[in-house]
Chain A
């Protein structure tokens, strides 16, 4: 199965082409403000470099959040447009699960944490047994320290959310026996997303409009007068 995967849920943007579980090419840009300008360029390079015909893709997989609302719109709109125009199934993959799948180490609890700003993180808890990831707590958004305090046992903390608020959470994490994965390993990777989607999300992939974002945080409802 040949997969084109896309993640733009955080300030990092990545895309990959993975064939039969083997990464053919992956591109990652970090600290980008403008995924909208870069994403399709990256995808075009990947097709070009790997000599892959656009029509030969079997599945498109996209990161559905939680994360930056703007980033999610860029990634999901692009993925939906590609899947629609190429007539390929689209799979939506939770970003926190992608990050959790990147944790090193053996079996146990993994807590992916994505920076949600305002001192908060998008977080959830997974249990790993072999290569299986099972969600223990659903995705939520809350104060970074409150999240770590809510953990009942040692877990591997991974993702930018754990690093951005490191100073606030480090003592509590240590007291609970949690380890914190180095920042570079916690950047969501399209290659990890593709591999996860093949194992778990390919079967339920379908029409592109069936994929929706996992925002977790509700919209701020206020009257906006900015449109002039």
Chain B
């Protein structure tokens, strides 16, 4: 089945065409990051307006790059939630209208399930496994028994990992989005220069907490550099903060593997593109004889190929048309 995926849950307008649930024929992502930069974060109303301008051109582009016509599409999968409601509405309504006009089946996908299935686009991942979804909105550890059957083992009790990156980048005056800037700066820093807490590291649960870490960075800056952080100290601060985040994530995720007696772990979501996280997870998973499955950067970020992939398990020609499908801003998985 040839599936068109559509994703507009946050600040990326994305469309992709996936064949037989495995072959990515096109994967178009139009990011709005430049429009939100000056506000230091995503402005929901601006995001919605940009999606409205981009949705049809992005779908057109996905078809063009796949050398296909709309007539070739046999089903549509769209992100139904969770996310920004105005952003979701653009994708959901456009998808409904296109599917209706073409008389093809349509299914709504949970964005988190999309992320969980992104690594499966690239290789066969053993089941059951532990899947970590780590992004600007989520830091969730799942036990994945099989496709469609997920158990949430732990999540952040406050800020998501990506949110902590953004907030720390903001307080260090590094700009937005924080993940990319801090990762780059940290390359030249000493991760042991500053001692930051690893919250909940030795707690038995699989939960995370990152807001205390953000506060620790704030006080470190206030106490040591009341006149502002000198330029040459920034890489050390960034590296030390990043190491604290990475240590928490790696430790908790591998702990989950051991507790659940699972020997495969997959990383997905925007923060899973972080170079330090990938490196450390690789080293420590190897030490513990756990197979690690990393997702390519382009599939870590919000994309529609993962939504089409999720759709490939759910779409069938005999589905009743979901006329009443609506966007869902909060939708736990």
B89 and A36 within 8 A (CB): yes
A221 and B39 within 8 A (CB): yes
Q: In residues 310-328 of chain B, which contact A (Cβ within 8 Å)? A: 323-327
Encode B27-46 as 1/0 by CB contact (under 8 A) with A: 00000000000011111111
Q: In residues 46-101 of chain A, which contact B (Cβ within 8 Å)? A: 54, 69-70, 73-74, 76-82, 84-86
A213 and B93 within 8 A (CB): no
A58 to chain B, nearest CB (A): 15
Known contacts A219-B45, A224-B41; decide if A81 and B324 are in contact (CB<8 Å). no
Q: In residues 31-84 of chain B, which contact A (Cβ within 8 Å)? A: 39-46, 48-49, 52-53, 55-57, 59-60, 70, 82-84
Asked if A152 is an interface residue, CB under 8 A from chain B, the answer is no
B304 to chain A, nearest CB (A): 15
A84 and B330 within 8 A (CB): no
Q: Specify which of B85, B92, B101 lies most central, judged by the most chain A CB atoms within 10 Å of its CB.
A: B101
Q: Nearest chain-A residue to B53 (Cβ)? A: A212
Q: Specify the main secondary structure of chain A where it touches its partner.
A: helix
Asked if A227 is an interface residue, CB under 8 A from chain B, the answer is yes
Q: Determine the chain B residues whose CB is within 8 A of the CB of A132 once the complex forms.
A: none
User: How far does the alpha carbon of A222 sit from the alpha carbon of B326 in the complex, in Å?
Assistant: 26
B45 and A69 within 8 A (CB): yes
User: How far does the alpha carbon of A225 sit from the alpha carbon of B166 in the complex, in Å?
Assistant: 11
Known contacts A219-B49, A221-B43, A221-B46; decide if A78 and B97 are in contact (CB<8 Å). yes
User: How far does the alpha carbon of A7 sit from the alpha carbon of B101 in the complex, in Å?
Assistant: 18
User: How far does the alpha carbon of A38 sit from the alpha carbon of B94 in the complex, in Å?
Assistant: 14
How many residues does chain B have at the interface if contact means C-beta atoms less than 8 Å apart? 49
Asked if B10 is an interface residue, CB under 8 A from chain A, the answer is yes
Question: In the complex, which of the residues B41, B48, B82, B92 contacts A223, with contact meaning CB atoms closer than 8 Å?
Answer: B41
A228 to chain B, nearest CB (A): 6
Encode A204-228 as 1/0 by CB contact (under 8 A) with B: 0001110011010001111111111
A217 to chain B, nearest CB (A): 9
Question: In the complex, which of the residues B52, B70, B98, B324 contacts A76, with contact meaning CB atoms closer than 8 Å?
Answer: B52
User: How far does the alpha carbon of A215 sit from the alpha carbon of B49 in the complex, in Å?
Assistant: 9
Q: Determine the chain B residues whose CB is within 8 A of the CB of A208 once the complex forms.
A: 56
B96 and A81 within 8 A (CB): yes
Q: Determine the chain A residues whose CB is within 8 A of the CB of B42 once the complex forms.
A: 223-224, 227
Encode B183-219 as 1/0 by CB contact (under 8 A) with A: 0000000000000000000000000000000000000
User: How far does the alpha carbon of A39 sit from the alpha carbon of B89 in the complex, in Å?
Assistant: 13
B43 and A40 within 8 A (CB): no
Encode B1-34 as 1/0 by CB contact (under 8 A) with A: 0000000001000000000000000000000000
User: How far does the alpha carbon of A209 sit from the alpha carbon of B46 in the complex, in Å?
Assistant: 17
A70 and B86 within 8 A (CB): yes
Asked if B225 is an interface residue, CB under 8 A from chain A, the answer is no
Question: In the complex, which of the residues A74, A215, A226 contacts B93, with contact meaning CB atoms closer than 8 Å?
Answer: A74
A82 and B100 within 8 A (CB): yes
Asked if B128 is an interface residue, CB under 8 A from chain A, the answer is no
Q: Determine the chain B residues whose CB is within 8 A of the CB of A212 once the complex forms.
A: 52-53
B77 to chain A, nearest CB (A): 15
Asked if B237 is an interface residue, CB under 8 A from chain A, the answer is no
Q: Determine the chain A residues whose CB is within 8 A of the CB of B70 once the complex forms.
A: 84-85
Q: Nearest chain-B residue to A36 (Cβ)? A: B326
Asked if A131 is an interface residue, CB under 8 A from chain B, the answer is no
User: How far does the alpha carbon of A36 sit from the alpha carbon of B42 in the complex, in Å?
Assistant: 24
Asked if A134 is an interface residue, CB under 8 A from chain B, the answer is no
Q: List 15 A-B contacts (CB under 8 A).
A: A37-B325, A40-B96, A41-B324, A44-B323, A54-B101, A69-B86, A85-B100, A209-B60, A213-B49, A221-B46, A222-B43, A223-B40, A227-B82, A227-B84, A228-B138
6 new A-B pairs (CB below 8 Å) besides A73-B89, A85-B70, A220-B45?
Answer: A36-B89, A69-B86, A70-B85, A84-B60, A221-B43, A227-B42
Q: Which 5 pairs, one residue from A and one from B, show the smallest C-beta to C-beta distance?
A: A81-B97, A219-B45, A85-B101, A77-B93, A81-B94
Interface residues, chain B, with chain A CB atoms under 8 Å away: 10, 39-46, 48-49, 52-53, 55-57, 59-60, 70, 82-86, 89-98, 100-102, 136-138, 160, 163, 323-327, 329-330
